[in-house]
């Protein structure tokens, strides 16, 4: 049965998107905020996401995706859509997929199935199964006229959001940030903007979470930051052949 082209209820659309955000993962949500994986995150949990502004210098796609989820939780839907689009322009496939879900379900906008398919096409261009399957399913439901409209959208959107454009742009930003990290390695520490305390980076690097959590400064061992950034980069660039991870860097004593 084909889905209605009319906008579904705002409450249902919101529940659908919250569930999608849970499945894709919301950056910087505290562990205690996601103790029940079967339930979508609440508005309060999304709003409390700890987005690290310093990540914008490395991975804008990850940072703006976090801001978008946070804004959605705060019911600032105009900003949420803006930040999802900003993240999408930095090669964030989760952001592109979420924008497609919003268009498909009429979340804060009229239902637009051709636009949804265009976003799904961008999200699935690396053929990641969790994005490819929704694209294939929706494509099979659209009429020839809708498919033609989706192609029109996609031709325009590729100029900003396709991997051929957004991927190298994001990789360049990542490389520039890494070079700053390598320079900071000489002192052994890196001060990350937006880190209220080092526990936000707990669970990565060669130091145990307890040691990191005991620090009060935003300046932490460079190697910890490298591994944190690298782990986030693996998510942003998942399936893209143009990405090269940092790995370990030598700290000059």
Query: Which among 75-79, 147-151, 178-182, 188-192 has the top mean pLDDT?
Result: 147-151
pLDDT at 215 over 80: no
Residue 173 included in any domain: no
Does any domain span residue 207? Answer: no
Average pLDDT, the chain: 78
Higher pLDDT pick, 13 / 181 = 181
The yes-or-no verdict on residue 154 having pLDDT over 70 is yes
Residue 145 lies in a domain: yes
pLDDT for res 221? 81
Reported as a pLDDT band with limits 50, 70 and 90, residue 9 is: very low
Helix (H, G, I), strand (E, B) or coil at 219: strand
pLDDT, tens digit (0-9, with 9 covering 90-100), for 176-201: 998 888 776 656 788 888 876 666 66
- At residue 8, the pLDDT reads 42
Name the burial class of residue 1, with classes exposed (0-12), middle (13-18) and buried (19+) by CB atoms within 10 angstroms of its CB.
exposed
Q: How far apart are CA 142 and CA 113, in angstroms?
A: 8
Block residue for tokens 């940072």: 63
Higher pLDDT: 21 or 119? It is 119
Check whether 156 has a pLDDT greater than 50: yes
Q: Please check whether residue 143 lies inside any domain of the structure.
A: yes
As a whole-number percent, the residues of the chain with pLDDT over 90 amount to 43
Which of the 8 DSSP states describes residue 31?
Answer: G
pLDDT at 66 over 70: yes
For residue 43, give its domain range.
10-163
- pLDDT score at 193: 86
The tally of domains found in the chain comes to 1
Residue 153 lies in a domain: yes
Whole-Å CA distances, 164 to 161, 171, 246? 8, 11, 22
Top pLDDT among 74 and 211 is at: 74
Q: Is the pLDDT assigned to residue 15 strictly greater than 60?
A: no
In a domain, 184, yes or no: no
SS3 content of the chain, % helix, strand, coil (to 5): 60, 0, 35
Residue 227 lies in a domain: no
- Give domain status of residue 240, yes or no: no
Residue 231 — very low, low, confident or very high, per pLDDT cuts 50/70/90? confident
pLDDT at 49: 73
């Amino acid at each position: 049965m084909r889905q209605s082209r009319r906008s579904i209820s705002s409450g249902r659309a919101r529940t659908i998107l919250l569930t999608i955000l849970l499945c894709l993962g919301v950056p910087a949500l505290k562990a205690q905020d996601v103790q029940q994986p079967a339930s979508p995150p609440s508005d309060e949990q999304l709003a409390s996401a700890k987005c690290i502004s310093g990540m914008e210098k490395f991975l804008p796609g990850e940072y703006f995706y976090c801001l978008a989820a946070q804004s959605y939780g705060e019911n600032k839907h105009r900003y949420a859509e803006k930040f999802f689009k900003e993240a999408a322009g930095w090669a964030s496939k989760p952001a592109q997929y979420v924008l497609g879900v919003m268009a498909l379900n009429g979340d804060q906008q009229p239902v637009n199935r051709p636009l949804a398919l265009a976003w799904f096409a961008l999200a699935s261009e690396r053929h990641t199964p969790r994005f490819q399957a929704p694209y294939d399913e929706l494509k099979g439901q659209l009429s020839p006229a809708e498919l033609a409209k989706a192609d029109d959208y996609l031709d325009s959107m590729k100029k900003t959001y396709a991997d051929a454009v957004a991927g190298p742009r994001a990789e360049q930003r990542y490389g520039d940030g890494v070079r700053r990290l390598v320079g900071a390695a000489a002192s052994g520490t890196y001060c990350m903007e937006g880190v209220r305390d080092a526990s936000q980076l707990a669970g990565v690097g060669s130091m145990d979470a307890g040691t990191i959590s005991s620090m009060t400064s935003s300046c932490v061992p460079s190697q910890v930051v490298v591994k944190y950034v690298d782990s986030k980069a693996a998510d942003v660039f998942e399936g893209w052949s143009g990405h090269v991870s940092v790995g370990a860097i030598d700290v000059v004593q």
